[in-house]
Structure 1
Amino acid sequence: MTLNLTPLKYLLFIENITCVFRNYSHLTRCARILTFAWFLLEVISILTNALVNFALEDEIHIRAQRIYFLTSIGFSLYVMVAAVYYSKKFYSLLLNFDAFYNIFDDRIYNQTLLRAQKVLTVTIVSFCLMKIVTSTAVRLSNRRGTENMYKAILYNYNFNFTDFRYLFEYFVLYSILFVICEQLRTITRSIDREMSLSRERRENVEHAGDLSSATVSHDKINKWVKAYENINDTSNLCNAMFSIQLTVMILIVTVYYIILMYSITLISVEGSQTMTTSMFAHFFSMAVFLIALFVISRAGQKVQNSSLQLRQKLCELCVYTLDNEECYKLAKDLLRCVRTRPVRIHVFGTLDVEMSMLPSIVTFFTTYTVIALQFNNVL
């Protein structure tokens, strides 16, 4: 059975946008040419970051931004290396999605993913348009001489390209988390549906005194066990592929927040001259990154909530199958598996991708911004 779900193709499409050279050996000749061109574009981005650092003047609000550009270079190298290193794991992840689709052909699951694809498409297109408009406004408002045109082009290219790269990686991770969440909900719906049908059958045969045929079948429970093991393997692959990458992205974004707040404070206190539209562009990037972190945190929280709902439904199943020893044992084993092997997406250490992640990040960058300002005798 071939997987025909459009959202899965959409997930692969987003991943190819971010690091298409991961799939080089599986592409056609024309696609390989485009892949090589994208690889050159990544290399040009790295060189552009280096050129920007040499081209920008040694101003107060520019000095701190060089740290951000250097971290962008490191992140570009990491994405290129990780794309090659995790290529097999990414295909295993897609195969796991395919296997789950073969286990469950749930109509609600399919419709939900199709709606999510439309929302993600509108979000990406809207951000690209807003980013282009903001960047164009910055360039048009820059009335400096033509001798600074080269520096402005380098700066705008670097500023936009790194933002696009970060957000596409966020969209990839969000898509994976969304699919995992919907898969957990699909198992919960299947258990609830099967218990409802079993109750109806039990009411119909209650007068016969034989309730053995009115319980949940062994095949259904084995199907749920197989589906959950598939989801657990998917979450482990996701942690192996994206935990370090997400950590690096969060650190870079946090550094960007600190640098931006530091620069704005210095400009305000020392009276440095800068363009309002340029500051607006920085604020726009801050807001977009903050929204991206919120969306990822919310998706991780939904995965944990769906896992908790599955555990609650399995507890009901255990109670419901008490009159059938074999089914009760299978349901209890599945509940034990869900409790001992929970589906969680990790970032680093004990920090999971959940709603508590965003306040921790905000507290972190605010604290270190104040420390940086105090260290430089600004506050």
Structure 2
Amino acid sequence: MRAPEVLDHKADLMVRLENPVIRRAWRHQVSLDLKAPFNPLKQATPKSLIQSQSAAVVEALRITLPKAEAYHVSAEMGTVVQYAASQLDDLDRIDRTIMPTRSGIARFEGGLPFYDVRGRKMLVSWAVWVPVLANYAEPRHDKGEPFEATVIYLFNDHREEPDDIYRLLPTSVDSSGNPPGPGEVEALDRLLGRWGFIGAETAYDQTRLGPAAVEPDEAKRAEILAEGDVPHQYTNPMRLMHAFWLLLGQTITDTSDAPVDRSRRKRAGRAGIPDRVTVIQLRNRESKKSEGESLVEWSHRWVVRGFWRWQACGPNHPLAQEMGPGVYRARIWIAPFVKGPKDKPLVVTDKVYALHR
């Protein structure tokens, strides 16, 4: 996909979100995730609260998406996002101030691997983030005053990168065990277009990122076993997005504006959306040959010892986080370069950056 096309597909998603059938389907999907206990007493979330929260999550996407800035992330940069996410510490805390914009829509070329609680592999082709107003106390253990959080929405691109879930649609069954009827899969495909909704996650400031692979709770495990499936650890999407936002402030990343033609700019104006697309790529760096190093025709490029480090900084540093009164640290990516010939593909093995297992 060419970078300017992100604007066309964003406009397509906006149109589909005006369809109440799609909103209802995605509200139901969000409500399934919200059924898990969220308070210290492990009390079940009331059904009425689940319904209102899931409706608010989908409505926030519909209302705020037009303002979202557009990003196009190269496949190589997506590979580094996965690797960088695996190197974060479980105790790292979410800091929404590192986000490039309050709302955004990013297209990850090639998709980011994502495993669900049943062990099925999905691909995150699109990520959208929008601000919401939260008004319950549990995430911050306070008195419940309203505060801003960010909801992240993940999508597979059914048109260009169909994943395992999309391929299962013709053989799926409903809650009564009935397979799709004649034409139902085709009708659903036309309704959703390229937008395969994976799920939504809310980012609250100063909450811990947690592990790369999350264990399902006992209630979810019991539910999956009752359905005849085997529960698995599932990918923590917050680590992927936090690593992505952090990398935008690092020297390994090169950002530029995509050239947007006049007709596409006009269409964006009519749709009421910004006509900009930021291209995010891996910065190419020349590496000098060490003394005594033999000349080798490398077949690929690779990441050299990338890892995160907390570094002391001042309050005006773009990635500064206040660790205590007057004490600031920034999450810095160390050894941020890729070695090997510019014209060769970037190769990072699963053992290095896998977020599952």
Instruction: Give the TM-score normalised by structure 2.
Output: 0.29
- Highest RCO, 1 vs 2 (Cα 8 Å, sep ≥ 6): 1
Larger Rg over CA atoms: 1
Structure number with the higher helix fraction is 1
